[in-house]
Amino acid sequence: MSSPLAPILTRHGAAPTRRVLAMFPGQGAQRPGMAAWLIERHPEAARLFALADEVLDMPLTELCTFADAEQLTPTEIAQPAVAVTSLAIYEVLRAAGVEPHIVAGHSLGEFPALVAAGVLHPVDALRLVGVRGRLMAEVARRTPGAMIAVSGLAVHLLEDICADVNGVVEIANHNEPRQSVLSGERSAVLDAARAARFAGADRTVELRVGAPFHCTLMREIEDEFASATADVVFADPVLPLISSVTATVVEGGQHARELLRGQPAARVRWVDVLTTADGMGVTDYLEVGPGRVLSGLVGRTVSAATVRSTNDSRRLTAVTRAYR
């Protein structure tokens, strides 16, 4: 089934003067009231939220309008909330004629990216996000872990530190050239963070997740998540989709399915994703979803880039004017 959100790649056969990467954020982008303005001003967004409420049997419209930060924090809530908000913003952009040329998603953000690329139908993407969030939350309850962001050290130095620490600690995210996130067993992550500070790290910050995302401790959910994808149609992409697992272009629908299976345990290679996009001629980096985290990462990774976000009405309006 083709996606109703799939973008049109060209208009009237004209070659684009700008090359736009649509970037979809992951868990952590949620914030109170993040969709209130969307639902109030854009009927297409309100319809998508109503669909998500029904598909997931979860009051996402209410949560994304009225919930406080604590209510939005649990993984099984945060993941569908961010995903549906990103999809709703993308639908508003699509209705306004904004046409990305390439897409990518940061971890969870790959689900709306797959919808934008025509690989997944929105209903299937929402259902899979619901399963993913539940499974990852269950791992967090069974295996308490930690994630700590480390700034000021090159990734290869952190890899050496992780290798010298007893227990499970790995690099979960390489977000910018000198900023990565450690993940794993709590004691091992804390030991690695101390070693990183001793080695010259500028800053270490523990993330409020309480779970070992994007490390080998997440491998236990791979088979169950794969089972959830078994009856889902994964079409071949209609535009390039850069995987955050490999930092290369997804080769087809089956390849996308395989990558999603192992994604919760795999490193998010965001620096490499941006480097790949730069090599593909991307000039404009457009963050589609709540927050502006990815916009900041672009500014610290890619030189001479145009960066735009869509996390409020003013910025969304500016984007639609810039790319129509």
- pLDDT tens figures, 3-29: 434 333 333 344 447 899 999 999 999
Distance CA(100)–CA(106), nearest Å, equals 16
SS3 assignment, position 128: helix
What is the share, in percent, of the chain residues with pLDDT greater than 90?
89
**Percent of residues in the chain assigned helix, strand, coil, to nearest 5:** 50, 15, 35
Query: Which residues have a catalytic role annotated?
Result: 107, 214
Q: What CATH number should be reported for the domain whose range is 145-206?
A: 3.30.70.250
The predicted model scores a pTM of 0.93
Interatomic CA distance for residues 215 and 217, integer angstroms: 5
The pLDDT of residue 106 is 98
Q: Do domains 20-141+216-323 and 145-206 have the same CATH topology?
A: no
Q: Does domain 20-141+216-323 have CATH number 3.40.50.920?
A: no
What's the mean pLDDT when you consider all of the chain?
93
Task: Give the DSSP letter of residue 286.
Answer: E
Phi, psi angle pair for 250, to nearest 5°: -65, 135
What integer pLDDT is reported at residue 5 of this predicted model? 44
pLDDT at 224 over 70: yes
Question: Where exactly are the structural domains of the chain?
Answer: 20-141+216-323, 145-206
Phi and psi based region of residue 125 (left: phi greater than 0; alpha: psi -120 to 50; beta: remaining): alpha
CB of 161 closer than 8 Å to CB of 195: yes
Rounded (10°) CA dihedral 188, 190, 194, 197:
110
Least confident of 6-15, 151-160, 252-261: 6-15
Listed residue (145, 113, 49, 39) closest to 263, CA to CA:
113
Over residues 185-195, the pLDDT tens digits come to: 999 999 999 99
> Which residues, other chains included, contact 118 with Cβ-Cβ below 8 Å and sequence gap of 6+?
2, 3, 6, 235, 237, 238, 239
